Amino acid sequence: MPSTEAQLRAAKKYRETHREKYLERIYEWREENLDKQREYARKSMAKNYLWKCAVRDLNKCLLV
């Protein structure tokens, strides 16, 4: 969805002026949903590990 330059400037200004409120809401959510945060971290680490293994195996095949 393309945005005009004016819309981009307005969004940037809004983010800058409301940054503290935004971060406060994020920290509150994280404290309330620790189990969701842990689950996300676990899934992310598993996904990264699978990519790491796949790249390692591909490199082994290419270098042999």
In this structure, which amino acid lies at residue 61? C
Residue 12 belongs to what domain range? Answer: 5-63
> What are 39-51's pLDDT values in tens digits?
999 999 999 999 9
Residue environment code for 30-64, b if the CB has 16+ CB neighbours within 10 A, otherwise e: eeeeeeeeeeeeeeeeeeeeeeeeeeeeeeeeeee
Query: What pTM value is reported for the model?
Result: 0.50
- pLDDT value at 3 more than 90: no
Number of domains in the chain: 1
